[in-house]
Amino acid sequence: MWMLDRHRTHSVNKGKMLSVFLTLALICGCSCYPSGAPESACTTMTPSHGVPPQNTSSPYVIKFSSSNFSIDSNFTVTISSKDGNTSFKGFLVEVFTDQPTPNQLKEGEFKVPENAHPTCNGGATHSDAKEKHMIGLQWQPTTSFTGKVKFRATIVQAYKVIWENVKSEYLSVDYTAPSTSPSDVTTISHPISTTSESPSDLPRCEPGFGCFKACPLTTCESVVMWRRSGNCVDFKIVARLDRPNNRWVAIGFSPTGRMPKTSVIMCLVDNDKISVEEGINKGYSFGPLSNKTLGLTNISASVVDSVLRCTFTRQINISGSVESIYSLTKKYFLLLGDGPIIGGTPGQHEKTPVKSESRVDFLVNENVGSDDPSKTLYKLHGSLMILSWMFLSSVAIITARYYKSEWRGMMPCGVKVWFAIHRTMMSMVFIITTASFIIIFIQVGSLLQETEGDIYVRYHPALGITVMALCVANPIMAFFRCDPGHKYRHVFHYSHMVVGTAAQILSAITIYFGVNLEKSNTPEEASYIVIAYIITYVIIEVILECQKYYRRNEDETETQILLRSTSNVPQQKYQKHQVNSFKITVLTIHFVCMSMYCMVLIYFVATA
């Protein structure tokens, strides 16, 4: 009876442990991104926190530097607590008119400090979740407006403590924007000169502008320049045309670095006429807007000595609900391409457009390099390392450490199941890691390369070399290991375990540093995937370690199995051993989680 009760107790406890694990696994998969209110909240101004707002008086207030708006006074909006001591972590502020009913005034712009950023509907939100006692924002309309407005905010003190509809007093605004009424299509007729050109006429960057070149040389076939001017950005495109007639040159603002859904501004040279059109790529085809110069002013263009010079001014925020025209308050990949005009219609580009190596801030004057075609080797290196250590090694180590007592009596190819899994996967880790190491060595040309980014990220090459050294050391140790019954067998066992564990820990750190390198260009979510992988791995280890300790009294043969880990002689006692369903469930969850993390992270690296 005592044995039966004990068995029931164990079954209940195992069920509880499984429930705890599943709960923790779900928790580890959920991440909070404290980078501001999402665009989905712009209309309702309601956070998706799953809690109702506070129904008491708000401890926060919105104040102005002046009761009347003036473009020359650096008008400032301040959000703070009434007592000066109550902090807040997040906010979303937007502007509303009172005529005839309260409506969002989207045609406005906030100039924000480092801990905030502009968002949709002309609003502003936080960019970190640090505690704030006050934040100051400069605001002005982007179109002519006369009337009264109110500033309305949602303020987050803590995740479940939210105040909505925090309102300011009315602000009187009388603002007249510069004239921005372009014609539907601007066409400039010029005689196209074809005289010889000197090297000094070739496209080059100019002082005072941000610049993107289609090649890394001092002079280039084409360049794009930009400079902020109030609520607009001035652009210049300078390109040397092989054939000065019937050609187009275009720039594109791409959220992904790919052609589909790219906002395009195109300069066309069709016989003796030069025009500028704006549109959106529908897939890989250009589609002009109904208003082909929406948000564009000061358009001019000329072709002299086969060099096209096309200039225009683009509003930072374009009024209206045109989703394909992106706000320049955000960063985008810059694309630069050219192609023929066939029958008055832009044809497909004859060579792949050049892409910036990273997203560009068009409100800042900076030189931007073009994407390095040789990044393929960097991506291959990163993908192989992720496959080796996030998936193969993690499964191999868990199997060898906690599953020696499972599948007893099964001897595929004359070896135990756990050993077959461990040896096969770690052999693949060694081969893939070595190949990845050779690939990056060929690409870089040296063992250590100076890297850009935060200081801690610069240790990525040194850590990678260390992981490679440990990866080589472990199979060498295994090759020269002594027999299972040898008196020094335990020395090999613990040395092998320490080296393997060190390699696994360092590989996770190295991968985290790698996805944060400037050159990797991976999205922020890649870092969260690595963190989720580490948390999941630790949870799996803790659960299996607890289960191992729990069953130690029942399984008196565990120590013998560890010492005879490579013995190929199955015992009759082991053949009757039943597989532990709880441990198999944990291994399955581990396998699925590692697979998912690995696939998602490789996708981020390959598509960066």
β-pair type (161-167, 145-158): antiparallel
**472-511 residue pLDDT tens:** 998 888 888 777 777 777 788 788 889 999 999 999 999 9
**What is the pLDDT at residue 6?**
39
pLDDT mean over 229-233: 88
β-pair type (145-158, 116-118): unpaired
Task: Evaluate the omega torsion of the peptide bond into residue 182 and state whether it is cis, within 30 degrees of 0.
Answer: no
Determine if residue 298 is left, alpha or beta; phi over 0 gives left, psi from -120 to 50 gives alpha, anything else beta: left
Per-residue confidence at 447, pLDDT binned at 50, 70, 90? low
Residue 443: C-alpha distances to residues 373, 378, 433, 465, 602 (Å): 12, 8, 15, 15, 19
β-pair type (161-167, 103-104): unpaired
Relative orientation angle of helices 394-402 and 489-515, to the nearest 10 degrees = 150
**How many CB atoms are located within 10 Å of the residue 159 CB?**
15
Q: Residue 201 corresponds to which amino acid?
A: D
**What is the pLDDT at residue 178?**
60
- In the numeric block, the tokens 């756990």 are attached to 418
Say how far apart CA 461 and CA 502 lie, in whole Å: 16
The chain-wide mean pLDDT, for the chain, equals 78
Q: Which of 496, 495, 497, 502 is nearest to 463 (CA)?
A: 502
pLDDT mean over 244-265: 85
Q: Which of 18, 9, 4 is nearest to 581 (CA)?
A: 18
How buried is residue 268: exposed, middle or buried, by Cβ count under 10 Å (0-12/13-18/19+)? Answer: buried
pLDDT more than 70, % of the chain: 77
Select the more confidently predicted residue: 438 or 122. 438
On the question of pLDDT at 539 being above 90, the answer is yes
**What is the pLDDT at residue 19?**
47
Q: How far is CA 339 from the centre of its chain?
A: 32
Say how far apart CA 68 and CA 218 lie, in whole Å: 50
| Beta-ladder partners of 238 | 223, 309
**What is the pLDDT at residue 275?**
84
End-to-end Cα separation, the chain, in angstroms: 63
Record the tokens describing residue 145, joined without a space.
Answer: 């407006």
Q: With the C-alpha atoms ordered 362, 366, 371, 376, is the resulting torsion angle positive or negative?
A: negative
**What is the pLDDT at residue 162?**
92
Say how far apart CA 217 and CA 240 lie, in whole Å: 15
Domains along the chain with CATH numbers: 41-175 (2.60.40.4060), 186-368 (2.60.40.1210), 374-480+509-565+573-607 (no CATH)
What is the value of pTM for the model shown? 0.46
Find the helix or strand (DSSP H, E) in which 254 lies.
strand 247-254
β-pair type (210-213, 367-368): parallel
Find the helix or strand (DSSP H, E) in which 96 lies.
strand 90-97
**What is the pLDDT at residue 190?**
42
| Beta-ladder partners of 91 | 155
On the question of pLDDT at 470 being above 90, the answer is yes
Say how far apart CA 473 and CA 477 lie, in whole Å: 6
Q: Residue 515 corresponds to which amino acid?
A: V
Q: Which string of DSSP letters, residue by residue, matches 404-454?
A: TTSSTT--GGGS-HHHHHHHHHHHHHHHHHHHHHHHHHHHHSSS-----SS
In sequence order, the 6+-apart residues with CB closer than 8 A to the CB of 161 are: 54
Q: Residue 224 corresponds to which amino acid?
A: V
Select the more confidently predicted residue: 494 or 322. 494
Q: Which of 277, 93, 224 is nearest to 171 (CA)?
A: 93
**What is the pLDDT at residue 24?**
41
Total residues found in the chain within this entry: 608
> Taking CA 551 as the corner, what is the angle to CA 548 and CA 556, rounded to the nearest 5 degrees?
105
Per the CB < 8 A criterion, the answer to whether 495 and 477 are in contact is yes
Q: Residue 435 corresponds to which amino acid?
A: A
- In the numeric block, the tokens 């002519």 are attached to 144
Say how far apart CA 569 and CA 571 lie, in whole Å: 6
User: Among 65-79, 121-135, 234-248, 363-377, which is the least confidently predicted range?
Assistant: 363-377
Record the tokens describing residue 542, joined without a space.
Answer: 């803790």
**What is the pLDDT at residue 456?**
61
pLDDT mean over 408-430: 86
Q: How far is CA 275 from the centre of its chain?
A: 37
Select the more confidently predicted residue: 249 or 444. 249
Ramachandran angles phi, psi of 96, nearest 5°: -130, 140
**10-31 residue pLDDT tens:** 444 444 444 444 444 444 333 3
Record the tokens describing residue 601, joined without a space.
Answer: 């992270």
Q: Residue 280 corresponds to which amino acid?
A: I
pLDDT mean over 557-563: 53
On the question of pLDDT at 454 being above 60, the answer is no
pLDDT mean over 323-328: 73
372-381 b/e with 16+ CB inside 10 Å = b?
A: eeeeeebbbb
**167-198 residue pLDDT tens:** 998 888 888 766 544 444 444 444 444 333 44
**66-94 residue pLDDT tens:** 878 876 656 788 898 888 788 898 999 99
**What is the pLDDT at residue 372?**
53
In sequence order, the 6+-apart residues with CB closer than 8 A to the CB of 230 are: none
- In the numeric block, the tokens 């190491």 are attached to 437
Per-residue confidence at 381, pLDDT binned at 50, 70, 90? very high
